[in-house]
């Protein structure tokens, strides 16, 4: 019988408490070989605690970490040599850029021409060669973070872990660092664990995403699965969904639920687990603004959407290249559609215009009300 190899990194039954407060309670978390795994959640979700535990910097109060099937703990030098971390604020040592990039190789006994060759290569990967002799205290924030990344990658870690690596950078520098990360990380590390509160960053880089909520894992899935089939209202909100909080299940039919939002409005929505819902139960429904198609009231939208709502435009707010259009139905339901500016111009709408909003049932999601954290 052929047995599957153990996951590269695995956390089982991890619990971490600070005093009387449990900040982390993770049943099972796996990092596969060759993948980029993003751990996403708001501040206080437990992401950085997971980062420190996986990097073997902090010991959990319960549970175990396994690397290639072997239990590992803080102080395990052999395991630490296979892991490298980059922190939110780069903790560089006094000296030059080259000194910092070479640090891990010196610590592991790599010297001579081999060390020089590997340091030169790492500097080249991240366009740092021209800065090799610069004292690190003269670097900009983006340059310092690229040095920290080069220092982590030069040891050729099996797993590269990054804790909010772009959060302290300004917008233009953040974009450059993300590009460097996307280009280099897959080529120079066996697997990558990216901890971030930025869903866009995670969705742009990761093969799988772990969504954390109050120290627990809310969902683990591919980016597409999380966008199209969010497991909870919290996950939906994290990915940019809007919530309709006043709803009641009227009927269930083949993976869809009819949710009465107001006396005159029933919306059909996809349900992840129909067994958790019953007719008459209080429900919450979520939609994404970009999934609403607007048509002028006198016209017809080219869509097969089952959900249609007559409304009037309340406000049109430009947001960069896009426009948020807030609409209100006669019985007070407020929705937001996200359109291109060209679409808004083509519709010839303004505040007060009558429109029809179209939404496919599969673009809405419904859950039992108790699954939503109010």
Q: What is the pTM of this model?
A: 0.86
* DSSP alpha helix (H) spans, 15-140: 47-54, 77-80, 97-107, 112-125
Pair (247, 273) in one structural domain: yes
The secondary element (H helix, E strand) that includes residue 265 is strand 265-271
* Average pLDDT score over the chain: 89
Q: pLDDT tens across 314-372, in order?
A: 999 999 889 999 999 998 899 999 999 999 999 999 999 999 999 999 999 999 887 65
* DSSP alpha helix (H) spans, 215-259: 223-228, 233-238
Pair (142, 262) in one structural domain: no
Pair (172, 246) in one structural domain: no
Pair (35, 181) in one structural domain: yes
CATH number of the domain encompassing residue 40:
3.40.50.300
Pair (177, 78) in one structural domain: yes
Residue 2 lies in a domain: no
Pair (22, 151) in one structural domain: yes
Sheet (strand 307-319) strand order = 293-296, 354-359, 307-319, 322-329, 334-340
Residue 186 lies in a domain: yes
- Give CA–CA dist 128/148, Å, rounded: 11
Mean pLDDT calculated for residue range 229-237 = 90
Count CB-CB contacts under 10 A for residue 224: 9
DSSP 270-310: EES-GGG--TT-EEEEEE-GGG-EEEETTS--S---SEEEE
Pair (311, 207) in one structural domain: no
pLDDT band at 1 (very low <50, low <70, confident <90, very high): very low
Q: What is the pLDDT of residue 374?
A: 44
Cα torsion 164, 58, 33, 111 to 10°: value is 90
Pair (81, 176) in one structural domain: yes
Domain of residue 367 covers 233-371
Residue 105 lies in a domain: yes
Pair (238, 206) in one structural domain: no
At which of 228, 263, 278 does a domain end?
Answer: 228
Pair (60, 203) in one structural domain: yes
Residue 4 lies in a domain: no
Mean pLDDT calculated for residue range 235-254 = 87
- C-alpha closest to that of 260 among 231, 278, 282, 238: 282
Pair (91, 13) in one structural domain: yes
Count CB-CB contacts under 10 A for residue 303: 13
At which of 228, 258, 286 does a domain end?
Answer: 228
pLDDT band at 204 (very low <50, low <70, confident <90, very high): confident
Residues sharing a CB contact under 8 Å with residue 39, sequence separation 6 or more, in sequence order: 47, 50, 51, 193, 194, 195, 196, 209, 210, 212
């Amino acid at each position: 019988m052929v047995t599957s190899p153990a996951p590269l990194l695995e956390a089982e039954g991890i619990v971490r408490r600070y005093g009387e407060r449990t900040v982390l309670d993770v049943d099972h978390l796996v990092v596969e070989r060759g993948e980029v795994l993003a751990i996403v959640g708001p501040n206080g979700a437990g992401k950085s605690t997971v980062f420190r535990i996986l990097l073997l910097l902090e010991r959990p109060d319960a549970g175990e970490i396994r690397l290639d099937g072997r239990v590992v703990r803080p102080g395990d030098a052999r395991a630490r040599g296979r892991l490298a971390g980059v922190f939110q604020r780069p903790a560089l040592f006094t000296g030059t850029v080259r000194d910092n990039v070479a640090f891990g190789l010196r610590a592991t006994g790599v010297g001579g021409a081999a060390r020089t060759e590997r340091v030169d290569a790492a500097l080249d990967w991240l366009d740092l060669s021209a800065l090799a002799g610069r004292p690190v205290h003269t670097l900009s924030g983006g340059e310092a973070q690229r040095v920290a990344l080069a220092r982590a990658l030069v040891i050729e870690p099996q797993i590269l872990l990054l804790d909010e690596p772009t959060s302290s950078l300004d917008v233009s520098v953040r974009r450059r660092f993300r590009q460097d990360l996307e280009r280099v990380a897959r080529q120079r590390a066996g697997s990558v664990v990216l901890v971030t509160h930025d869903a866009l960053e995670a969705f742009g880089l990761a093969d799988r995403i772990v969504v954390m909520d109050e120290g627990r894992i809310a969902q683990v899935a591919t980016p597409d699965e999380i966008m199209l089939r969010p497991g909870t209202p919290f996950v939906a909100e994290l990915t940019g969904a809007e919530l309709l909080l006043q709803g009641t299940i009227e009927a269930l039919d083949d993976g869809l639920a009819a949710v009465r939002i107001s006396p005159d409005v029933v919306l059909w929505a996809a349900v992840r687990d129909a067994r958790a819902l019953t007719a008459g139960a209080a429900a919450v429904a979520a939609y994404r603004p970009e999934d609403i198609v607007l048509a002028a009231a006198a016209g017809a939208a080219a869509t097969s959407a089952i959900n249609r709502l007559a409304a009037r435009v309340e406000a049109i707010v430009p947001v960069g290249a896009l426009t948020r259009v807030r609409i209100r139905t006669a019985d007070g339901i407020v929705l937001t559609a996200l359109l291109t500016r060209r679409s808004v111009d083509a519709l010839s709408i303004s505040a007060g215009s009558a429109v029809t909003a179209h939404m496919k049932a599969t673009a809405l999601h419904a859950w039992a009300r108790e699954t939503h954290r109010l």
